[in-house]
Amino acid sequence: MTQTLSQQEEHFNRASASLQQAISWYASFRRHWNYPPNNQLQAAVRKDLQALKAALDKLDQKLIRISAFGLVSSGKSSVINALLGQEVLETGPLHGITQWPKSLRWTPASGKVQVELIDTPGLDEIEGEERAKMSRDIAQQSDLILFVLTGDITRTEYQALCELRRSQKPLILVFNKIDLYPDKDRQTIYEQLQQQNAANSEEDLDISTNEIVRIAAKPQPIQVRIEAADGTITTQWETPSPQIDELKEAILNILNREGRSLLALNALVQARDAEANIAKKTVEIREEEAQELIWKYARYKALAVAVNPIALLDLMGGIVADLALIRALARLYGLPITNYEAGNLWRRIIASSGALLLGEVGSSLILGVGKSGAAISGAFESPGTFITYLTAASLQGAIAGYGSYVVGRVAQVYLEKGCTWGPLGPSTVIAEILSRVDRNTIIYRLQQELLNS
């Protein structure tokens, strides 16, 4: 338990540190964001920057979001009222009482975290895509999902549940209105779910018995017979008190066991998504400038390599040019990148693209020597040797330029996807790039341009 607690603490602190870093990073990112100033870009990422801040605020406040989903009239609002211990939300037998998501604060008995309970409209209330999007958004922002059902699970519920399951959030299946089916125990419910699973071969819900709770959030009044001392019998309607303990216990268990880690994880996921969005929009909006930049560096490098007769200088100059290109791209995107990071990125690009860029290095040496040889033997003395020189030089230049082009494209995608330095490694990026880039065309283009210049 202590172990878990300290682990939770560690997750929490790491998440907090990571989010703080991201925010200070993007704060300066915004200040340096004038390359030249781009209002369109600033407007495009404003929401993501806010999301980043909101994620940190939520983490700081130790605020856990629990949302209730289910079909209309399954008792979602009643469940939240029962947890709060007061009738705050409107409930009723008519379909569609709750029309918009509503959130309420709840301080559970443990008092360690604050909870925000989110009530949602019935999943079958709002139509189609809009419904799906709303529940996806809310689920995405939640740390724990309560799925409220009554008795047998319907096909619509099953599908909605599968979709919510995909959000990878902890989930509790809340079987409400148990006063109407008191004999159905947890095991029976579980077995019925298994049958549904078997009938739906495409997707497996993978629910365990301890994710199932049985409650009566707002039991119907029952008729009570009262026998007076004189023997007269009267009947009276009495409303039993809600049975909500199983759910409270399940929630508290989850909060104690993994509340802080859940918080940390969700904050990180939100931050990652926000950062990925920022990077994506930045790259999109800067695409044309980036293309120009990459092309410019590729051309310079190709030209420099082609005219320079010394092989070793080719290589060194090439590396310097690639590093400069990586830095220029990072600057264009407003991503802080140090020399060290640029060097690292370059090395990783070279390592991952292996054969391709080794070809550049290899040809640089071979052709470079050929070029040097041609230079020494007086390439400019006869038109024949000069043409040999020019062909070797332009081919080598083209390959070098192509290398730059690849480095540029890879760096571009890497800066976009890897700016969160997430799990997406450069090898994946390389494969992606190389599947898109037509090597021959670029070499051809560079060669043509060199020969024409």
Contact positions vs ligand GTP (CB under 6 A): 70, 72-78, 91-93, 95-98, 121-122, 125, 176-177, 179-180, 216-220
CB of 72 to ligand GTP, least distance (A): 4
Give which of Mg ion, ligand GTP, none residue 317 binds (C-beta under 5 to 8 Å, depending on kind).
Answer: none
CB of 102 to Mg ion, least distance (A): 9
Secondary structure of the chain in HEC code, one letter for each residue: CHHHHHHHHHHHHHHHHHHHHHHHHHHHHHHCCECCECHHHHHHHHHHHHHHHHHHHHHHCCEEEEEEEECCCCCHHHHHHHHHCCCCCCCCCCCCCCCCCEEEEECCCCCCCEEEEEECCCCCCCCHHHHHHHHHHHHHHCCEEEEEECCCCCHHHHHHHHHHHCCCCCEEEEECCHHHCCCCCHHHHHHHHHHHHHHCCCCCCCCCHHHEEECECCCCCEEEEEECCCCCEEEEEECCCCECHHHHHHHHHHHHHHHHHHHHHHHHHHHHHHHHHHHHHHHHHCHHHHHHHHHHHHHHHHHHHHHCCCHHHHHHHHHHHHHHHHHHHHHHHCCCCCHHHHHHHHHHHHHHHHHHHHHHHHHHHHHHHHHHHHHHCCCCCCHHHHHHHHHHHHHHHHHHHHHHHHHHHHHHHHHHHHCCCCCCCHHHHHHHHHHHCCHHHHHHHHHHHHHHC
Give which of Mg ion, ligand GTP, none residue 75 binds (C-beta under 5 to 8 Å, depending on kind).
Answer: ligand GTP
Q: Please, which residue, 138 or 357, has the CB nearer to ligand GTP?
A: 138
Q: Please, which residue, 72 or 132, has the CB nearer to ligand GTP?
A: 72
Number of residues that bind Mg ion (CB under 5 A): 3
CB of 68 to ligand GTP, least distance (A): 8
Site residues for Mg ion, 57-86, by CB under 5 A, read 77
Indicate whether 98 belongs to the interface with Mg ion (CB under 5 A).
yes
Q: Please, which residue, 163 or 179, has the CB nearer to ligand GTP?
A: 179
Q: Backbone dihedral region of 422: left (phi > 0), alpha (psi from -120 to 50 degrees) or beta?
A: beta
Site residues for Mg ion, 118-147, by CB under 5 A, read none
CB of 212 to ligand GTP, least distance (A): 16
Q: Please, which residue, 82 or 115, has the CB nearer to ligand GTP?
A: 82
CB of 120 to ligand GTP, least distance (A): 8
**Is the separation of the CB atoms in 189 and 212 below 8 Å?**
yes
Binder among 97, 294, 399, 442 for Mg ion (CB under 5 A): 97
Q: Please, which residue, 219 or 370, has the CB nearer to ligand GTP?
A: 219
Site residues for Mg ion, 18-47, by CB under 5 A, read none
CB of 131 to ligand GTP, least distance (A): 12
**Residues in CB range of 194: below 8 A, 6 or more apart:** none
CB of 67 to ligand GTP, least distance (A): 12
Q: What are phi and psi of 82, to 5 degrees?
A: -65, -40
Q: Please, which residue, 123 or 306, has the CB nearer to Mg ion?
A: 123
Q: Please, which residue, 93 or 231, has the CB nearer to ligand GTP?
A: 93
Q: Please, which residue, 45 or 71, has the CB nearer to ligand GTP?
A: 71
Give which of ligand GTP, Mg ion, none residue 73 binds (C-beta under 5 to 8 Å, depending on kind).
Answer: ligand GTP
Q: Please, which residue, 75 or 259, has the CB nearer to ligand GTP?
A: 75
Which single residue brings its beta carbon nearest to Mg ion?
98
Indicate whether 148 belongs to the interface with Mg ion (CB under 5 A).
no
Give which of Mg ion, ligand GTP, none residue 220 binds (C-beta under 5 to 8 Å, depending on kind).
Answer: ligand GTP
CB of 179 to ligand GTP, least distance (A): 5
CB of 109 to ligand GTP, least distance (A): 22
**Is the separation of the CB atoms in 149 and 175 below 8 Å?**
yes
Give which of Mg ion, ligand GTP, none residue 378 binds (C-beta under 5 to 8 Å, depending on kind).
Answer: none
- How far apart CA 436 and CA 186 sit, in angstroms, is 53
Q: Please, which residue, 98 or 270, has the CB nearer to ligand GTP?
A: 98
**Residues in CB range of 383: below 8 A, 6 or more apart:** none
CB of 266 to ligand GTP, least distance (A): 25
Residue numbers at the binding site for Mg ion (CB under 5 A): 77, 97-98
